[in-house]
Amino acid sequence: MDGLFEALEIHEIVEAFVGDSSPALKAKLVRALCGPISPFEEQPKNSEARNMMFELSLAADWKNAGSVVELGEPDIKPCAPAASFQTECKRPFSENSVPKNIEEAASQLGYELNKTGSENDYGIVAISLSRVFTKGNLACFAPTGTGKRLIGEALAELLDEHTEQWGLKRFREMHPRIVAVMFHLAAPWDIGGERLIHLSTSNFLETGNNASGWRILREHVESLEQAVA
């Protein structure tokens, strides 16, 4: 099931970036396909491939929904009509490493946002909780028609349980143009015992640093959600 799930991710990436032969995409794909085949063999020291796959999968989700997405440094850059959002992606290996990953992403974003030419960009810290949730060996089962709701509830519950531990109320210490910390969850779901579906969901938490940037982001995200509804 894990292998099929990852194959579905790769399919969505190929679908999103068909015809793209940019050096940035090629470099990310090479890194994404160099890790251990089985998630059971993944450890922090060899997790770079699946970390990179999170970047590409998230970029593909946004691109397939209709957003313009640039690849490079920082990791990905979705472009709304009114602004661009530099996005630094992290995929913590365990619950305890989530705060450190948030801090590192925010620090890297702050450096990028201070560069000449980035004065009008905003920032998003993107955290994948997939490895935290599945532990590398969890598959999910749901009756037909309930998978999307259940994965949304799973993400909300995960965030509620760790509000204090992960410092989810202390985002104002970040760069003033980092407008959101986005938590993302993807997992293999067996729907009705008949078919495997690649399900993912995201939860954007406002940092409170920039109301204008947050409004632009929310409007863009809502337009993408309506496009794929």
The per-residue pLDDT for 138 is 66
pLDDT tens-digit profile, the chain (229 residues): 677 778 888 888 989 999 898 999 999 988 988 888 777 788 888 888 889 999 999 999 999 999 999 998 889 999 999 999 999 999 999 999 999 999 999 999 999 999 999 999 999 999 999 989 887 666 777 777 787 788 889 899 999 999 999 999 889 889 999 999 999 998 777 776 666 666 789 999 999 999 999 999 999 999 988 876 6
Phi, psi of 73 (to 5 degrees): -125, 120
Q: Does pTM top 0.85 for this prediction?
A: yes
Tokens of 166: 């992960």
